Amino acid sequence: MSTALVVVALVWLALLLLRAGLAMSYARRQPTDVAELRPGALTVAQAILSGDPLLEARLEANLRALRDQRFIWLIDDDDVEAQRLTRALAARHPEVEVRLESCPLCPDGLNPKVWKLRRASPLATTPYLAVLDDDTLLPAASAAALVAAADRHTVSTGLPQYEDGGDLPSALLAQFVNNSSIFTYLGTARLLAPFTLNGMGYVLRTEALGGLGHFEPIQRELTDDLALATLVRRRGGTIAQSTAPLLVRTAVRDLPHYAQLMHRWHVFALLLLRRQSAPVQLLIAGLHGLPPLLLLAMLGLAALQPGLFAACVVAGVCGLRALVLVAMQQRIFGGVRHRPILSFVSELLQPLHLLHAACSRTIRWRTRRYRVRDTDDFSAV
């Protein structure tokens, strides 16, 4: 039993070092001398949906960070609260050019975010268009880095960092994002040309929108980030995975709400995996799916033979894991967002979230619910 525990711990350690090495190697290859973004170069399009108590604060933070750029806010006709707060924000910041675009109700079977982006595409008159989730802050330096990357590629995408709200549900969510984003986005990009993008925030050259059909070809795809990435590659384009930070924060009401968010993200991850070839599926499963299972197996083996040796193995694994995550976050994020116990718990919960996603395909997004059969086969419920 001791041998099995050591073998599991060593395999886990080898994977940790491999994943960290891939991510850090990719990060070292990224340019660091990026010029400031010139005024009026960027239009920020945001599909807005009320229901998050932090919505107004997040939108206003972007107005302050990018006050010399342009904004298009896309709001549903019947979303009275979103209409109210966006009008108030636009009036509060007259120095920023903000266009409020009211959108008719999205038909069933179409992606509500893409439904809105189709309206924003022909309205963008700046050289670049940023598509940004309404809970995400795009710092000016990140905007400049994504614009520079979009000059060399069709689309550039950033790296999510989750801001902890201080309570347990949001802390668990934050640790999941901050544990995995560097490994998932940067480590994978070191081995494979990016085949998806981070839908929380990305930048395109406006001149490229016509070649992508102004989002029209992907309006029936629920996972719009994967759909856009696939469309870009199918039409001969390329995707730049940047280390530029995207600061995300969502109000997480309680643990059931945390579970809903994790369920939605894992459903989307399974849809992404389904679209890949068998070798890519095996690579992703080995790099990103196996480590949490190994941690669970290690704890199970240690529980079957409690004692000083097992405790030392578990403590050593936890300590090495924390050291690697802290070092990577310091290097990539420019600061440490690691909370050791919650980070460890968050990783142990990932197989449960994945099982939930595999068994249940009805997701909730704020006030909406969708039954998902595939990325291009879903309906409102």
Residues paired with 97 in a beta bridge:
70
Joined tokens for residue 254 = 């309680």
| Confidence grade of residue 1 (pLDDT, cut at 50, 70, 90) | low
Residue with tokens 């990140």: 142
From CA 209, how far away is CA 93, in angstroms rounded?
29
- Mean pLDDT to the nearest integer, 249-273: 89
Q: 368 has which bridge partners?
A: 365
pLDDT in tens, 28-69: 988 877 878 999 999 999 999 988 889 999 999 999 999 999
Residues 32-63 as b/e (b if ≥16 CB within 10 A, e otherwise) read: eebeebeeebbbbbbbbbbebebbbebbbbbb
pLDDT at 305: 83
- Provide CB contacts within 8 A for 113, sequence distance 6+: 47, 224
Residue 273 pLDDT > 80: yes
pLDDT digits (tens, 9 = 90+) for 135-144: 999 999 999 9
Res 338 pLDDT > 70: yes
Per residue in 162-207, pLDDT (tens digit) is 988 788 999 999 999 998 999 999 999 999 888 888 889 999 999 9
Instruction: Confirm if 49 and 113 have CB atoms less than 8 A apart.
Output: no
281-322 pLDDT, tens per residue?
999 999 899 999 999 999 999 988 888 898 999 999 999 999
Give the whole-angstrom CA distance, residue 69 versus residue 96. Answer: 7
Cα distances from 254 to residues 52, 143, 170, 369, in angstroms, run: 13, 32, 8, 18
Structural domains of the chain, ranges and CATH numbers in brackets: 34-376 (3.90.550.10)
User: Is 381's pLDDT higher than 80?
Assistant: no
Average pLDDT value for residue range 270-276: 87
Q: Could you tell me which residues come within 8 angstroms of residue 66 by beta carbon, excluding any fewer than 6 positions away?
A: 42, 44, 96, 138, 140, 143
DSSP conformation class of 329? H
User: Can you tell me whether residue 3 is helix, strand or coil?
Assistant: helix
Helix (H, G, I), strand (E, B) or coil at 271: helix
Q: What is the pLDDT of residues 60-100, one digit of tens each?
A: 999 999 999 999 999 999 999 999 999 999 999 999 999 99
**Angstrom distance (rounded) from CA 235 to CA 86:** 36
Please state at what angle helix 2-28 crosses helix 308-332, rounded to 10 degrees. Answer: 10
β-pair type (362-365, 368-374): antiparallel
Q: Which pLDDT score, from 0 to 100, does residue 366 have?
A: 67
Per the document, the length of the chain is 381
Radius of gyration of the CA atoms of the chain, in A:
21
Mean pLDDT value of segment 141-156: 94
Tokens of 285: 């499963």
CA angle 343, 344, 345 (to 5 degrees): 95
Is residue 224 within 8 A of residue 201, CB to CB? The reply is: no
CA distance 169 to 255: 5
| Alpha-carbon span 202 to 212, nearest angstrom | 15
